[in-house]
Amino acid sequence: MITIIDYGLGNLGSILNMLKKIGAQAKISTSKLDIEKADKLILPGVGAFDNGMNQLRERELMDVLNYKAMEEKVPTLGICLGMQLLGNSSEEGTEKGLGWIDAATLKFKFDEQNLHLKVPHMGWNLVNEKKGSVLSKEMYEEPRFYFVHSYHFVCKNPQDELFRSNYGFEFTSAVEKDNIMGVQFHPEKSHKFGMRLLSNFAAI
Amino acid sequence: MLKTRVIPCLLLKGQGLVKTTKFKDPKYVGDPLNAVRIFNDKEVDELVFLDITATINKKEPNFKLIAEISTECFMPFGYGGGITNTKQIDKLINLGVEKVILNSALHQTPSLIEDAAKLCGSQSIVVSIDVKRNFFGKPEVYTQGGQTKVKASAEEVAKLAESLGAGEIFINSIDKDGTLNGFDIDLIKRVSSAVNVPVVACGGAGKISDFVSAVKDGGASAVSAGSMFVFHGKHKAVLITYPNYGELESFLK
C-alpha cells in the first residue's frame, strides 16, 4: 500500500487517481497508523515551506516519518514542495526541513540575460537524466513534465541528483538518494510521462 | 517540445459538455469527465473549461464538478465562469485549478483581477475577452456570455487586464466560434500587439494550419479550439480527438 500523506496542502485527488489508473494500491491519509503500515510513501504538497513543515509537526507526523524513511527505509517520493521538504532548509522560510537529503532550497535568481524570465517557473519543461534510476525505467523519449515553483532544490552531493532541467540556468528537477526520491514537477499533471514515473515508483 | 500550446477549450452547461456556434445553439457533446479521460490518453498538455451559463444565471462555479474534473485531469487546466470574488478563486486554486479565467468580472469589479493576481500570482490569472464584429466589421467586446456590449475596444480591455495583473489574455471570436473556418487573425493581431503578456487565440480553428497562422500572422503565443477537438466530419458527429503530438510538433516547433 502506498500512503499519500495528507497534511492539508492541496488537492491530492489526481495523484491517487493516477495511481489507481496504473493499478497501484494507494490511499490518501492523515493518520499515523496508515503511514506506519505503508510500504511506500508519497509526500505531496503545494505552498510555502514553513507552512509545510509546521503542518507535519502539528499533526505529529515527524517521528513516524523519520522512522519510516530513515530506519525502515521504505521508498519515499516527495512531489513539488514535498521534494523541497526533503532537504535541510529553504530561502522561503526559517523552519528546518526533514534533512533526509543534504540540500537547500533557493529562490530563482537570474543573470542579466534571463531577467525576462518569470517566477514561478510554470509550465511544461524537459528533464535530462543525470543518473540511471528505476524511476526513469522505460521512460518515453524526450520526457517533459509540468512544473509550478518559485524555489529550486540544490544538492550538496551532486550524486544525489537524478534529473536536471533548464529555466534560465540548469537546476535539479529530481533527486534520489537510496530510498528517498523527490521530483520538483507534478507527475500527476504530466499525463503519460508522469504515469510512467509513478508506475515505476509503484513497482519498486 | 512544442513551443506553442494547443489547448482544447471545453464548454460546460450544467453537468454536461456542449459546443456552441457563434455562442448560440449549445449542442450536447457528452460527459466532461469522460472527455477528460479521453484527453488524458492523447498527450494534451493543457485544458480549458468554460461554464457558459454560470454568469448569466448568476451562479457560483460548480465546485463539485470542478473537483471531479481536477481529480480526473492528468494535465494542468484552467477554469472560467461565474467567478465574482477572491474566496471562490482561492477555493478553485485549492481544488487544483491551475489557471482561473475571468471575463465579466473585469467589467463589473476590475479590482477583482488585481486582488486575484496578488492572491495567487499573475501566472494563474487569465482574462478572456469575447469579441463580435458589428455590421461595419468593427470588433466590439461583449461580456455576460456574449450578451452585453462593452464600450471599450478589445485592445483597451486587454491593456486594462494586463495593467491589473492578468498573466494571460484569452481572446475569443464570437463570429468564428464553432465555424471551423479559421481564426480572426486581424483581431488576434490587434490584441497581441497591444499587450506583452501571452495571448491565447480561440474561435474558428478547423485545422492545424489555422494554428500556424494564428501564431505567425496573429502573434498568438498559444492556440485553443473547441469544435475541432469534439466534432468529426462534415455532419459534425461527436468524436473527441486531438492531433498526434509529432504532427503538431512538425508544424509548430
Strands A76-79 and A103-107, bridge-based pairing: unpaired
Query: Measured between alpha carbons, how far is A199 from A22 in angstroms, rounded to an integer?
Result: 6
**Cβ contacts of B73 on chain A, cutoff 8 Å:** 14, 189
Domain limits for position A163: 2-203
The answer to whether B67 contacts A13, with C-beta atoms less than 8 Å apart, is: yes
Q: What is the tally of structural domains in chain A?
A: 1
State mean pLDDT over A54-75: 96
Residue B191: predicted pLDDT = 98
Residue B20: predicted pLDDT = 97
Q: Which stretches of chain B sit within 8 Å of chain A by CB? A: 1, 40-41, 43-45, 67, 70-76, 94-96, 98, 121, 123-124
Q: What is the tally of structural domains in chain B?
A: 1
| Catalytic residue annotation of B | 130
Provide the residue count of chain A: 204
Q: Which residue of B lies nearest to A121 if distances are taken between CA atoms?
A: B123
Residue A116: predicted pLDDT = 87
Q: How far is CA B201 from the centre of its chain?
A: 8
DSSP lists the bridge partners of residue A126 as: A144
**Quick one: which of A84, A83, A98, A78 has its CA closest to A201?**
A78
The answer to whether B1 contacts A142, with C-beta atoms less than 8 Å apart, is: yes
- Give the distance from residue A196's alpha carbon to the nearest chain B alpha carbon, in angstroms: 12
DSSP state of B71: H
Query: Measured between alpha carbons, how far is B133 from B84 in angstroms, rounded to an integer?
Result: 27
**Cβ contacts of A16 on chain B, cutoff 8 Å:** 71
Q: Is the pLDDT of residue A88 over 80?
A: yes
Domain limits for position B189: 5-252
Residue B235: predicted pLDDT = 87
Q: Which amino acid is at B49?
A: F
**Quick one: which of B3, B1, B7 has its CA closest to B243?**
B7
Q: How far is CA B7 from the centre of its chain?
A: 8
Residue B2: predicted pLDDT = 87
User: What torsion do the CA atoms of B34, B99, A191, B208 make, to the nearest 10 degrees?
Assistant: 80
Query: Measured between alpha carbons, how far is B12 from B77 in angstroms, rounded to an integer?
Result: 14
Residue A65: predicted pLDDT = 97
Cell 492572491 belongs to which residue?
B119
Q: Which residues of A87-111 are buried (b: 16+ CB within 10 A; e: fewer)?
A: bebbbbbebebbebbebbbeebeee
Lowest mean pLDDT among A2-16, A102-116, A169-183, B137-151: A2-16
* CATH at B40: 3.20.20.70
- Give the distance from residue A64's alpha carbon to the nearest chain B alpha carbon, in angstroms: 27
* CATH at A85: 3.40.50.880
Q: At what angle do helices B154-164 and B111-120 cross, to 10 degrees?
A: 40
Q: Which residue of B lies nearest to A194 if distances are taken between CA atoms?
A: B74
Peptide bond into A158 cis (omega under 30): no
Residue A10: predicted pLDDT = 78
| pLDDT averaged per 10 residues in sequence order, chain B, 253 residues | 93 97 96 96 95 96 96 96 96 93 96 93 95 97 96 97 96 97 98 96 97 97 97 90 93 86
Q: Is the pLDDT of residue A86 over 80?
A: yes
Residue A45: predicted pLDDT = 87
Residue A92: predicted pLDDT = 94
The answer to whether A192 contacts B71, with C-beta atoms less than 8 Å apart, is: no
Chosen from A9, A17, A195 to mutate, greatest number of chain B CBs within 10 A: A17
Cα→Cα distances A155→A24, A102, B208, Å: 30, 6, 43
The answer to whether A126 contacts B40, with C-beta atoms less than 8 Å apart, is: no
Neighbours of B28 (CB within 10 A): 12
Residue A113: predicted pLDDT = 94
Q: At what angle do helices B111-120 and B86-95 cross, to 10 degrees?
A: 40
Q: Report the SS3 class of residue B220.
A: coil
Q: Which residue of A lies nearest to B76 if distances are taken between CA atoms?
A: A189
Q: Is A188 among the residues known to form the active site?
A: yes
Chosen from B46, B71, B221 to mutate, greatest number of chain A CBs within 10 A: B71
> pLDDT, tens digit, for every residue of A94-134?
999 999 999 999 999 999 999 888 889 999 999 999 999 99
The answer to whether B71 contacts A17, with C-beta atoms less than 8 Å apart, is: yes
Of A10, A120, A146, the CB nearest to B121: A120
The answer to whether B75 contacts A146, with C-beta atoms less than 8 Å apart, is: yes
Nearest 5 degrees, angle CA A169-CA A144-CA B244? 140
- Give the distance from residue B27's alpha carbon to the nearest chain A alpha carbon, in angstroms: 28
Provide the residue count of chain B: 253
State mean pLDDT over A185-194: 96
Q: Report the SS3 class of residue B3.
A: coil
